[in-house]
Amino acid sequence: MTNPLDGKYRITSTTSYQGPIEKRSDGETEIRDGKTSRIDDAKCKWTSTFEILNDNEVKMTSVADPTNSAIDFLLTAPDGTPTREVTTYVANLKLSRKGDDKIQMSGQIHYGSDVVFLTMRKIGP
């Protein structure tokens, strides 16, 4: 059985983070059965699950594993410090859709004093 969110997505983000670490988490991913796994431009592995809460909201849980990422890449821990530890981010995203082809999920991921504004737009089946 397929998940209504299944497909290819373009991920874009902006952040309130003002520190020295360059954020390189944008890219593309493919959701299958409500799950996705991808390696971003910094070689950080992201594994995420998407649970539809209602017609307008999706719970996203993302685990970022920077173990094999670029030497100059770090995540930001919930307390705002740079880390190379596996980090879990959870957010409820707004779900907007027009049929099965036009889907967008967007929202904010809060951790420490930082906020990431995330948008995922479906770009293919």
- pLDDT, mean over the chain: 89
CA dihedral sign of residues 77, 72, 44, 41:
positive
User: Structurally, how many domains does the chain consist of?
Assistant: 1
State the Cα–Cα distance between residues 27 and 34, nearest whole angstrom: 18
Residue 87 structural domain? 7-124
Q: What is the pLDDT of residue 34?
A: 96
Q: Which of 11-25, 29-43, 82-96, 108-122 has the lowest mean pLDDT?
A: 11-25
Domain-embedded: residue 1: no
Percentage of residues in the chain having pLDDT higher than 70: 93
Q: Provide CB contacts within 8 A for 54, sequence distance 6+.
A: none
Domain-embedded: residue 2: no
Task: Please tell me the pTM assigned to this model.
Answer: 0.88
State the Cα–Cα distance between residues 107 and 118, nearest whole angstrom: 5
Q: What is the pLDDT of residue 111?
A: 80
Q: Provide CB contacts within 8 A for 3, sequence distance 6+.
A: 31, 32, 33, 34, 50
Asked if residue 66 has pLDDT above 70, the reply is: yes
